[in-house]
């Protein structure tokens, strides 16, 4: 099994943190964000994020 590049792993973690912050901001201000579901884009207010990184 090939190991992942350490910079790719660090970048993925940073993207996840950024996505969580955007979702929190959207939830607090009742903004809708675009999410890809069922083959199309839907604009929704994100749910509360309870999963840890």
pLDDT value of residue 50: 66
Helix, strand or coil, per DSSP, at residue 49: coil
Instruction: Give φ, ψ of 26 to 5 degrees.
Output: -65, -40
Query: Is residue 53 scored above 60 in pLDDT?
Result: no
Residue whose C-alpha is closest to residue 43's, from 52, 51, 31, 32: 32
DSSP string covering 15-46: HHHHHHHHHHHHHHTT--EEEEETTEEEEEPP
Q: Would you state the pLDDT for residue 45?
A: 86
Tokens representing residue 33 in the block: 């964000």
What is the value of pTM for the model shown?
Answer: 0.67
Residue 52 has pLDDT above 80, yes or no: no
């Amino acid at each position: 099994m090939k190991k992942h590049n350490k910079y790719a792993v660090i970048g993925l973690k940073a993207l996840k943190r950024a996505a969580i912050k955007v979702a929190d901001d959207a939830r607090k201000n009742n903004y809708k964000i675009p999410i890809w579901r069922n083959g199309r884009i839907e604009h929704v207010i994100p749910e509360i994020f309870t999963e840890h990184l």
